[in-house]
Amino acid sequence: MDETVSPLSRLTRAANYLDLPGISVPCGLTHHGLPAGLQVLGRPSDEAAVVSLGAAFEKISGWNGRTPDLSAFG
Domains of the chain by residue range: 20-65
pTM over 0.85: no
Among 73, 7, 6, smallest CA distance to 34 is for 73
Residues 6+ apart with CB under 8 A from 64: 25, 26, 58
Digit-coded pLDDT (tens) for 13-59: 788 888 899 999 999 888 888 888 899 999 999 999 999 999 999 99
Tell me how far apart the terminal alpha carbons of the chain are, to the nearest angstrom: 32
